[in-house]
Chain A
Amino acid sequence: MKKLTVLLLCLVLALPLAACAPSRDATAVVRYGLSNAWDTLMPYNSPSGSNYTRIVCDKLYDRLAYVHADGTLDPRNAAAWESADGGMAVLFFLDEGAAFHDGTPVTAQHWADTIALMTDPDCPALGRSVFNVLAGTDEAGAALPGEALGAEAVDTYTLKLTFKTPTTPEDFLLDRNREFYVLPTHLLEGTDPAEVLELPLWQAPVGSGPLTFVEEIPGSQLTLAANPNYQLGRPGFDLLVITVMDKSNLLPSLIAGDLDYYAFGGNLAADDRQTAEAGGITVLEGTVPNSFYELMLNNERISSSAVRRAIDLALDKQALCLHTAQGLGEPTATDLTPGTAYTSSLTWSRDVEGAMALLEEGGYDGRTYSLACTANRSGLAALMQQQLAQAGITTTIETVDSAALFSGMAEGTYDMAIASHTPGALPLWFTESRFSPGNNIFHVADLTPYTGLISQIKAASDSGARQALVDELQALLARERPFLPLWFGRTLHAQSPTVDNIDYPSSSFSNENVWEWTLQAG
C-alpha cells in the first residue's frame, strides 16, 4: 500500500514538471510596448487621429508605400507609381501578390471603393478629411454630388488618384500615405454607408497588412499574428503582442527583458542614454531630424516685425539646443528639414546688440510678454527668459498643458509659446497648415503674401522653380518672423536586444517594417 502511495505521489509531482518541458511547437512572440492606447481598429474612424492608432493600423491594413525617415519611398501595396494627366493625377500599379487576410486579392477596385465609401456624405467617418486633396471632394473630404471622385480603378491592378491641384506622387505619399489604407470592401457590400462603422468587422478586422488580428483587450493589449502570405514577405516571428504601459516603464521593461521593442523606434531621451547602456541596451544615434522646435509668436500682440526679429537675435539657439537635445540637434533659421531635397542659404547667429537696436527700431515699450510652455519645458523657458532679459525683453513664464498651450495661442492668451513637431520632408510641411485662414495661430494680420507663395510652391512641378519659390517664402519668413524656428533635433533609439532588422528612424512616420523583423533564435 505504501509503495502504491509513493508511486502515485511521484506521478502527481511529475505532471507539473512535464508541463515545464519545452513545447515542440514553441511560438516566437515579439513583445511590443506602446505608451498610449489606440482608440479604434477602424483606421478612418479615430477620434484622436493619433500616431498610436496609426502605428497599430499600419500592421493590420496595407498602405500604398513605405516611407523612410529621410523621405525616400519603398513599394508596399503599390509596386510602382507615376505621374499622369500633366501632374494632376498619379497612377499606382498595385502588387498583384497582395491579398486580404481572408485570401481575397487586393485590387484597385478595393481602393476606389474604400475611398468612395469613406467620402460618402452619409458615412460618419471621422478621418474623412484625409481625402480632401482628391478631386470631387470638399474641404472636409466629403464627395461633392455631381462631381467625379478622384479615385478610380483603371484596371484590376491600376489605381488612379486625381487631385485638385498638381501633385507629384512623392509629395502625395510623403504627406498622406500614413492615412490611406485599403479596406476589405468585398465584406462591406450592401452595407448602408451610415452604418458601416458600426459593423462587428472593426472589432476583429480583416485587413491586408503584414499581421493578422488574433485578439484584443481594448485599451490594454492587442495580439496579432504574422501574415504568412504578405506580399513583401512573412514576418520573422509568429505573434506580436502589443501592450500599453506607462512611458516611464518602457525602457526599464526593455532592460529587464519584459519587452522586445517599444514604439516609436525605441525612442530614447538623451538623459536616459546612460541608463540604457548600463542596462546592456545598444543605443543608436538617429541620423534624420525627428523633432523641430519653434517659438510661436502672437503677431497681433508683438506687431512689429523688428521686435520679432530682435527676439530671434536675442536667443542663443545653440545653448537652447544643447540644453534640450544634448548635442543631438542643429540650430536653424528656417523650417526646412535638413537632409531633404529642399535647402536654404539662410543662417542663424546670436547678436544681442543687434537685437537691442531692433527693439529700439520697433518701438519696444518694455512690456512684459507671457511665454507659455508645458511643464517638461519649463527649464528651457527659464533659459529663454534669461537670454531675452539680456537684450532687455522681459517675460513671465506660464506653465500649462499642451492643449491649453495651443488653444491659448489660438485665442491670443499668450504672446509666445514653445512647441515642437515631427518634421516632414516636404518644403511646406510646417507652413502650409500654419498660414491658412482656418488655422492662423500666429495671428498674422495679412496672410495673402504667405498663402500666395504656398499655392505657387504647391503648383510648381519643376524642382528648380520650386526651390526658387521656397527661397522666396523663406526670405519672407525671415523678414517678418511670424514664428521663430529654433532647432531640428535628432533622437536616440534603444535597440532591441532580441529583434533584428528594425528600421528604427522610420517609425516616427508611423510605419514599421515588421515584415522584415526577425526574432533572434533562443
Chain B
Amino acid sequence: MEVHAYLPRSPWVRFRASRRAMLCLAVLGLELLAVFLLPPLLGLEPNVSDLEAGFWASPSPAHWLGTDGEGRDLLARLLCGGQVSLLIGLSAAAISTALGVPLGLLAGYRRGLWEFWIMRLADIVQSFPSIVLVLCLVALTGPSAGNIVLVLGLLGWTGIARLVYGNTLTVRDQEYIVAVRALGAGRGLILRRNVLPNVISPVWCSIPLRAGRAILSESSLSFLGVGIRTPQASWGSLIQAAADLTVLTGRPWAWLPPALCIVLTVFCLAGIGDGLRDALDTRSRRLPA
C-alpha cells in the first residue's frame, strides 16, 4: 500500500527539495554575481571603442567575445547589458505585483462598484495587443530604462490582479472569514491578516515568470529600436545587431551570447517559479513515505 505524508517543515525546506528549482536558483545567482561584479572587477568599459581591434572584430584574447559594429567590447556590453535587462525584468515584475495584489484583493473582497471598475479596467488593458500598446507608450514617453520599467510594470498588473481576485472570491465566504467579520474585525485587518496570506501563494510563483516576460518584452522593444537609449546596452539591444543579414549569418558572436543569456535567465526564472509553486502549495505537494 502506498503511503503519502504531507510535506513537513517550512516552504524553504520544501523549495530546497526541488533539485531543478535549486539548480535554477544557483545559475541565476551566479549570473547576477557575474553581471554586477565582473565589470568593476575586470575594469570593463561597455561604451569605449577599441579602434585598433576594429569594428566587428572576432573573439580574441583582448576581446573574449569580439567587438561590435562600433568597436566596443562585447563581453563588457553583455555584462552591463545584463544589469539593465535584469533590473528591468525584476523592477517591472515588482511594480506589477505591487499594483495587482491590492487591486485584486479590493475587487474580490469588496465586490460591487470596486469589482466592476477594477475588473473592467483590467479587461480594457488586456484587450489591447500588449506589444502594440507597449510600443506606443514607450514611443510617447521616450526610450529609456526607467520608462520601459514603468510601462511594463503599469501594464502588467492585470494578470496578477485577476489571480488574486479569483482566489479572494473563494476565500471571502469561507467560515473563518465570516467568523472574524462577526467578531467585529475591520475590513483592512481582515484583508491583511486573513485573506492576503491565503491568496498570495500563486502570486509568489508568478513573479519570476513575470520578470522573465518583462525581460523578453524589453528585448523585443530593443530589437524593434524603441528600447533603451544609445549607447546604453541591454541584451535586447545587443540582439538587434542580428537584424542585419550579414551579422546574423557571419558574426554569431555578436548576438548568440545575449540570446543564450535571455534563454537561460527566462528558463531559470520559470524553474524558480515552479519550485515556489510546489513549495507554497501544500495541498498538492506530497512526498512518498
Contacts and interface: CB of A to CB of B under 8 A. Distances in A.
* A interacts with B: yes
A52 B228 CA distance: 34
Contact of B55 (A248, A272, A323): A323
B249 A378 contact: no
Given A275-B249, A378-B230, A383 B70 contact: yes
Interface in A380-408: 381-383, 385-386, 396-397, 399
A43 B229 CA distance: 41
Contact of B49 (A272, A386, A399): A386
Contacts of B229: 396-397, 399
Nearest to B250: A274
A521 B47 CA distance: 54
A322 B230 contact: no
B70 A323 contact: yes
B80 to A, nearest CB: 14
A276 to B, nearest CB: 10
Interface in B175-206: none
B252 interface: no
Given A386-B49, A397-B229, A379 B70 contact: yes
Nearest to B68: A379
B143 to A, nearest CB: 7
Interface in B205-233: 225, 229-231
A379 to B, nearest CB: 5
A123 interface: no
A66 to B, nearest CB: 34
SS class of chain A's interface: helix, strand, loop or mixed?
Answer: helix
B48 interface: yes
Interface residues of A, number: 20
A211 B47 CA distance: 53
B5 to A, nearest CB: 60
A275 B230 contact: no
A323 B71 CA distance: 9
Interface in B112-168: 143
B2 interface: no
Nearest to A377: B230
A271 interface: yes
Contacts of B29: none
A36 B214 CA distance: 35
A323 B69 contact: yes
Nearest to A322: B55
Contacts of B48: 386
Contacts of B247: 271
Contacts of A383: 49, 70-71
A344 to B, nearest CB: 27
A271 B246 contact: yes
A426 interface: no
Interface in A316-345: 316, 319, 322-323
Q: Which of A272, A275, A386 has the most CB of B within 10 A?
A: A386
A437 to B, nearest CB: 33
A375 interface: yes
Given A385-B231, A397-B231, A379 B51 contact: no
B245 interface: yes
Contacts of A322: 55
Interface in B244-289: 244-247, 249-250
Nearest 9 pairs between A and B by C-beta? A382-B231, A378-B230, A271-B246, A375-B225, A397-B230, A379-B70, A379-B69, A383-B70, A382-B230
Interface of A: 248, 271-272, 274-275, 316, 319, 322-323, 375, 378-379, 381-383, 385-386, 396-397, 399
Given A382-B70, A386-B48, A399-B229, 5 more contacts: A248-B245, A323-B70, A323-B71, A381-B230, A382-B231
